[in-house]
Amino acid sequence: MKRLFILLVFLLSFLGAQARETHLFAHRDTCDLYLDIYRPAEGSETTFRGLDKPTILHVFGGGFLVGTRNDPYILRWVNLLNQEGYTVVTMDYRLGMKNYKVEKGLAGLSKASNRFFLSQQIGVEDVFSAISYLEENQLVDTGNLVLAGNSAGAIVSLASAYAVANGQTKGLPEGFQFKGVMSFSGGIISTSGAPRLKRAACPILLFHGERDKAVAYDHLGALGRGLWGSSYLAKKLRQKGSPYTFYSIQNRGHDVAAYHTVLWEYEKAFLESLMLGTPQMADVILDNPDFPNRGDIRVRDIYNRD
C-alpha cells in the first residue's frame, strides 16, 4: 500500500506536463526525431512586466548513450515552467555514442575523443533542425528562444551557442540568435584546442558541481583534445565580455545535472534578466547542504565500463 501511495505521488508530480503537441521534425538515416511542445498552464502569467516570456527548448542528458525527451524528472520541471507561464519544447537528438565500444590504449582514446566530438556536433545539427522546424511551422516565437540542457544535452546546448556566435549557422533561420542558454553540468568538446569565440555569445547560465567527475568542471584532456567545462568557459566568457552567470556548486558532483527544479529560483532570475535586457557577468559560489546529494557519478558509471 505504501509503495502504491509513493507511486501515485510521483505520477501526480508531473501529470500537469502532458504533451499538447508532438511533431516529427527530422528524418535521419538512423532514426526519426520528434519534439513535444508543452504550453503554459491555463491561467498562468505568460508575460513579465509586459514582456513575453521566452520558449524553453530542452536537450536531455545521458552521455550521448541513453535518455529520452520525456524523462519523468524532466517532465516535473516542464510542469513547473508551464505553471510559471513558459512554453517548453523537449526534443530528440541522435545519440552518437550508442552501441559504440571504446577501445583500450591511446589509439582507442583518440578514436573515442573523435566520436564524442562527432556526437556533440550531430546534436548541434539536430538542435538547429528543431529550431528551423519550429520557425517554418510558426509553432513558437524562435526570436524569443532559450536553449537548455543537462549533461550531454548541456554540452550540445553550449556548443550550439558557440556555433551561432562563431557564425556557424547552417540549418538555422536567417539572422537567428538565441535569447540565452541554460547549462546544467555542461561543457564543450573539442579535438582542436580550447573552444574559442569570434564574438560575444548570447547570455549563458552555467551550473556545475565543483566535484563533478563525469563532465569536467574545468578541463579534462591533452594534446588539444578533451572537454572544457563550466569553470573554464566562465573565465573565457568574462575575458570576451560575453554575459554569463556561473554558479559553482560546492561539495556536489554530476548530480547537479538533475537540479532543474532545485535551482529554479536562479533560473527564474536569469530568465527575467533576459526579458529585461539586463544580463550580467557574475561568478557565484553556492554551498547549500540541503541540495540533494546522490554521491559521485563518474564516466565509467555512465558507460558501465571498468
Does some domain include residue 259?
yes
Over the stretch 57-109, which tens digit does the pLDDT of each residue have? Answer: 999 999 999 999 999 989 999 999 999 999 999 999 999 999 888 878 777 77
Does some domain include residue 274?
yes
The residue to which cell 591511446 is assigned: 106
Number of domains observed in the structure of the chain: 1
Over the stretch 154-198, which tens digit does the pLDDT of each residue have? Answer: 999 999 999 999 999 999 999 999 999 999 999 999 999 999 999
Grid cell locating 75? 517532465
| pLDDT value for 106 | 72
Does some domain include residue 1?
no
Over the stretch 194-241, which tens digit does the pLDDT of each residue have? Answer: 999 999 999 999 999 999 999 999 999 999 999 999 999 999 999 999
Provide the CATH number for the domain around residue 230: 3.40.50.1820
Q: Bridge partners of 245?
A: 205, 282
| pLDDT value for 226 | 95
Identify whether the C-beta of residue 69 lies closer than 8 Å to the C-beta of residue 60: yes
Q: Bridge partners of 248?
A: 208, 285
* Rounded Cα distance, 67 and 8, in Å: 23
pLDDT at 1 over 60: no
| pLDDT value for 227 | 98
Does some domain include residue 145?
yes
Contacts of 185 (CB under 8 A, 6+ apart): 61, 150, 151, 154, 207, 208, 209, 212, 214, 215, 230, 254, 256, 257
Does some domain include residue 150?
yes
- Alpha helices (H) along the chain: 2-12, 72-83, 105-136, 152-165, 230-240, 264-276, 299-303
Does some domain include residue 8?
no
Could you list the residue range(s) of the whole structural domain that residue 145 is in? 16-303
> How much of the chain is helix, strand and coil, in % rounded to 5?
35, 25, 40
Handedness of CA 176, 178, 184, 190 (dihedral sign): positive
Does some domain include residue 5?
no
CA distances from 113 to 29, 154, 162, 227 (A): 23, 18, 19, 9
At 216, the amino acid letter reads: A
Does some domain include residue 10?
no
Q: Which residue has the higher pLDDT, 11 or 51?
A: 51
* Rounded Cα distance, 295 and 144, in Å: 37
Task: Read off the pLDDT band of 299 (50, 70, 90).
Answer: low
**272-281 average pLDDT score:** 96
Over the stretch 97-140, which tens digit does the pLDDT of each residue have? Answer: 998 888 787 777 788 899 999 999 999 999 999 999 999 999 99
Grid cell locating 12? 501526480
